[in-house]
Amino acid sequence: MFDFDMLGLAPALNDALKDAKFTQPTPIQNQAIPLALNGHDILGLAQTGTGKTLAFGLPLIDHLLAQPGKPAPKMAKSLILAPTRELVNQIADSLRNLTKNTRLRVATVVGGQSINKQIMFLSRGTDILVATPGRLIDLMDRRAVDLSSVKHLVLDEADQMLDMGFIHALRRIAPELGTPRQTMLFSATMPKQMEELSRAYLTNPQRVQVSPPGKAADKVTQSIHFVEKPAKPSKLREILSADMDALTLVFSRTKHGAEKLMKGLVADGFNAASIHGNKSQGQRDRAIKAFRAGEINVLVATDVAARGIDIPGVAYVINYDLPEVPDNYVHRIGRTARAGREGEAIAFCSAEEVDLLRQIQKLMKTEIPVASGVMPEAIAPKKPARRQNNNRRGPKPQHSGAPKPGGQKRRRPRRAKAA
């Protein structure tokens, strides 16, 4: 283990790290940064909350500071792709803190915001472009951005980008990038498709892994309450009332469910807000900002926020509904116990969710301690009912080929032979 000041980083970076009170790197930073500084492609595996942003951000900024000159109009020197708007903003905020006393410019490109403002900002060029794939392609189609000078590519939370179907967007973006380039890919899980992705876009990558995929952060205390669906609202209020001032992130499976749950909590006197896909980007940004500042202490979210909230003060994560994708459970509870702090993850499980719980525990190779209730019998999925034969006239008679009474078979007229 080394200190950041032992890496030989640019003085401006060392000063920024000291201002942020970063002294010792996390395990993923400890492994990845020296390799990235030496120019290697990186395949990094680590769960959320382990410091991946600095793992790729520090070597990226150090390389850019060593390059002379400003970016040309519409040009970007480096590109970071992330699957959600929240994660893009989180990454950009972290990088701006590191580059505030340098000449480097950081730009963000996400959907849900004015594309004309983004075009105007990009017209001056940028050193670091942080983007969601969809909006970036929109800007490429408008010829508002030129990626031919990009010599550093970062794919953050690459497994979620695959889950969200961004692989097609990546295939569209990659050929437009400059070569040769350094590519760093970071992911919390390593499905088979991720192996194929790494072979396609990385050159002789150095693999760094700090924990097995599917393993929760060590400082998260987990528990589960077996509670039927109608009793979940009262159980949630009971838990929230026990620590009214704590920052608590509550996960709901659906957008409608998240909004309904939030409105019910507000009606009962809780200081709550919600973020989900039906909210505008401005509404989501304001809710996260208020949550970060402690102006609200309960944030109800769908999985859109599972990897896009980096708030060290989150004390509790409550899985009001278990996720249908087991990996998302790990990402959700990774929103607490960040930056070396401790946190608590609480889950509710009804009879309809028992199979989801079993999949989660199989992924993590551990059983979640039971806080209350008894595991109910799993409810088997309903089988589609067979169609009944409502033909009361009995089976249709077989057709004999004879003409129907009163009619004759129609014959095609013969074509006249050519003269």
* Of the options 3.30.450.40, 3.40.50.300, 1.20.810.10, 3.40.640.10, the CATH number for the domain spanning 220-372: 3.40.50.300
For residue 419, the model assigns a pLDDT of 36
**Sheet with 206-209: strands ordered across:** 106-109, 126-131, 76-81, 152-155, 182-187, 42-45, 206-209
Q: Where in the chain is the domain with CATH 3.40.50.300?
A: 4-209, 220-372
Cα–Cα distance for residue pair 183/398, rounded to 1 Å? 69
Of residues 117 and 415, more confidently modeled: 117
Instruction: Please give the share of the chain, as a percent, with pLDDT higher than 90.
Output: 59
Assign 212 a pLDDT band (cuts: 50, 70, 90): low
For residue 37, the model assigns a pLDDT of 95
Assign 407 a pLDDT band (cuts: 50, 70, 90): very low
Rounded to the nearest integer, the mean pLDDT of the chain is: 86
| Overall average pLDDT of the 25-45 stretch | 93
| Overall average pLDDT of the 26-55 stretch | 89
The region of weakest confidence among 31-45, 208-222, 233-247 is: 208-222
Q: Is the dihedral of CA 244, 246, 247, 250 positive or negative?
A: negative
Of residues 214 and 160, more confidently modeled: 160
**Tens-digit pLDDT profile for residues 304-315:** 765 667 777 899
Name the CATH topology of 4-209.
Answer: Rossmann fold (3.40.50)
Cα–Cα distance for residue pair 163/160, rounded to 1 Å? 5
Q: Which residues pair with 108 in a beta bridge?
A: 130
Residue 202 near residue 173 (C-beta atoms within 8 A)? no
| Overall average pLDDT of the 131-160 stretch | 94
For residue 60, the model assigns a pLDDT of 97
**Tens-digit pLDDT profile for residues 255-307:** 999 999 999 999 999 999 999 888 887 888 899 889 989 999 999 999 876 56
Q: Is the pLDDT of residue 177 over 80?
A: yes
Q: Is the pLDDT of residue 65 over 50?
A: yes
Of residues 194 and 102, more confidently modeled: 102
Q: Is the pLDDT of residue 341 over 50?
A: yes
Cα–Cα distance for residue pair 63/39, rounded to 1 Å? 9
Q: Is the pLDDT of residue 206 over 70?
A: yes
